[in-house]
Amino acid sequence: MKKNILITGLMFLLSNISAQTISLSQDELLAKNIFKELIEINTTHSTGNTTIAAEAMAKRLIAAGFAENDIKIVGPEALNQNLVLRWHGSGGGRPILFLAHLDVVEARKEDWTTDPFKFTELDSFYYGRGTIDMKNGAAVLVANFIRLKRLGFTPDRDLILALTAGEEVGDLYNGVEWLIANQRPLIDAEFCINLDAGGGRLENGKRTAFFVQTSEKGVLNLNLEVKNSGGHSSRPSKNNAIYHLAKGLTNLSAYDFPVELNRSTKSYFSTISSIESGQLAADMNAILLSVPDTGAVNRLSTIPFYNAMMRSTCVATMLEAGHAITALPQTAIAKLNCRILPGVKQEYVVQQINHVLGDSQIVVTVLDTLKKNPATELNPVLMKTVKQLTEKFWPGIPLIPAMSTGATDGLFLRGAGIPCFGISGVFSDVAENRAHGKDERILKKSFYDALEYEFALIKALTSLK
């Protein structure tokens, strides 16, 4: 009896192990090993080092046969270097830039179930900081460049691979912005494919849409400050810095910027409505009218993602006030993070904020100037190629041009006149939002599907006419 129980238990254990084991091809194993190496290099800004990751990828590329002279590791400071590889083609057109960033946001080990800087396999997922945002893209690009080199492939134009630093920490250390300002010839291209945007949508395990990012919102940070002479808290006055700021912020919380749909968002709502149903689908169509339906706008505005797609937004994210519990506040400060639609002017946003706050004692100061951020015009030949490829990999899935509500390095490229298309081959579950959060993870299948998709995309785009 005991023997039977042991045999049954062993068979159950073995079946579970077998069910969780993926048989990987040579190319998939290479990509996995690169992915693991990148995840286990801490590239946070506070304690990490992006240069180590850049050097590790350079070592792999040189070992694969790329000329050392064609690989540059450059950047604004020692710990924030960028890797740029130029693969010389046969000369048939301007270069194509393929982009991914190496840095990641902070992650505290005590907050996670797993170690954020250990590549962990659990069930059907890979866990680790950067698995979604966005070391998967860096690994996919490096693995595919190596794979194509091993196969003896020669592109018909130069291909540029840029793995950059500082995307997560802003202007001061941003690798793409630095490269444009200081080393533009290294990355100058006809257009860019940015793996930090776009990609597929999963709903209950089913693929429902594939997005190509053609525009994104710009970032504008504002400081709101109220100054006051203060005094002893035992003799309070209605003229209180905190109250002034609080009233202004309350006004701001009730304010919405006007709805402004652009080519990307019109295309998005028009296409996505065809795979939605009921009131949601009807509302998406109703906001496309020459005069958007007010009820539809109001209903869609209750969904944060759709609200952010329709209009610019400004939200209070930080507060600071007072210097002692027994003293009237001499200063009250709030910081606003604004995400601004392409084409909207900084002066207009600041004017609107001042009007909504409705208090001359609240002084509004611009912390980070809004960057030039035009939308990328759709390239019909490129989009046809992407559509055909997407249909080949995932038949019946609609291809949808879209605007990102957040910002990527594509913003700096578009502002510099380099068209940028966000095309990640990764499908992610709409119900899961772990990028920048606890226990970040990616489906194993999504990673390997993206590997094959980007491999085919690189080959297809090199012969684009």
- pLDDT interval class at 23 (50, 70, 90): confident
The residue with greater pLDDT, 6 or 74, is 74
181-212 residue pLDDT tens: 999 999 999 999 999 999 999 999 999 999 99
Rounded CA separation 185/351 (Å): 38
Is pLDDT at 15 greater than 90 in this prediction? no
The alpha carbon of residue 121 and the mean position of all alpha carbons in its chain are separated, in whole angstroms, by 23
DSSP H helices, 160-317, are: 175-182, 184-187, 241-253, 263-272, 278-286, 294-301, 304-310
How many other C-beta atoms are found inside a 10 Å radius of the C-beta of residue 377? Answer: 10
Is pLDDT at 51 greater than 80 in this prediction? yes
Beta bridge partners of 164: 101
- pLDDT interval class at 378 (50, 70, 90): confident
Note the pLDDT of residue 18.
36
- pLDDT interval class at 464 (50, 70, 90): confident
Q: Are the beta carbons of 430 and 204 closer than 8 angstroms?
A: no
Note the pLDDT of residue 296.
98
Percentage of residues in the chain with pLDDT exceeding 70?
94
Rounded CA separation 127/177 (Å): 30
Average pLDDT, the chain: 93
Query: Average pLDDT, stretch 425-446?
Result: 93
- pLDDT interval class at 3 (50, 70, 90): very low
Note the pLDDT of residue 54.
98
Note the pLDDT of residue 25.
95
Strands 120-122 and 331-340: unpaired
Is pLDDT at 13 greater than 80 in this prediction? no
Q: Which CATH architecture has domain 218-257+312-368?
A: 2-Layer Sandwich (3.30)
Is pLDDT at 86 greater than 60 in this prediction? yes
Is pLDDT at 34 greater than 80 in this prediction? yes
Query: Average pLDDT, stretch 107-133?
Result: 97
- pLDDT interval class at 225 (50, 70, 90): very high
Q: Are the beta carbons of 35 and 41 closer than 8 angstroms?
A: no
3-state secondary structure of 427: strand
Is the overall model pTM greater than 0.85, yes or no?
Answer: yes
On the question of a cis peptide bond just before residue 134, with omega within 30 degrees of 0, the verdict is yes
The alpha carbon of residue 310 and the mean position of all alpha carbons in its chain are separated, in whole angstroms, by 19
Note the pLDDT of residue 21.
53
DSSP 332-375: EEEEEEEEE-TT--HHHHHHHHHHHH--TTSEEEEEEPPPP-PP
The residue with greater pLDDT, 282 or 170, is 282
Query: Average pLDDT, stretch 350-373?
Result: 96
Q: Which of 17-31, 412-426, 429-443 has the lowest mean pLDDT?
A: 17-31
| Axis-axis angle for helices 26-39, 50-63 (nearest 10) | 160
Q: Looking at 88-217, which runs of residues are DSSP E strands?
A: 96-101, 120-122, 125-127, 159-164, 191-194, 199-203, 206-216
Is pLDDT at 168 greater than 60 in this prediction? yes
What are the boundaries of each domain within the chain? 24-216+373-462, 218-257+312-368
Beta bridge partners of 199: 211
As assigned by CATH, the class of the 24-216+373-462 domain is alpha beta
- pLDDT interval class at 465 (50, 70, 90): low
Is pLDDT at 180 greater than 60 in this prediction? yes
Note the pLDDT of residue 91.
81
290-324 residue pLDDT tens: 999 999 999 999 999 999 999 999 999 999 999 99
Is pLDDT at 173 greater than 80 in this prediction? no
Is pLDDT at 110 greater than 70 in this prediction? yes
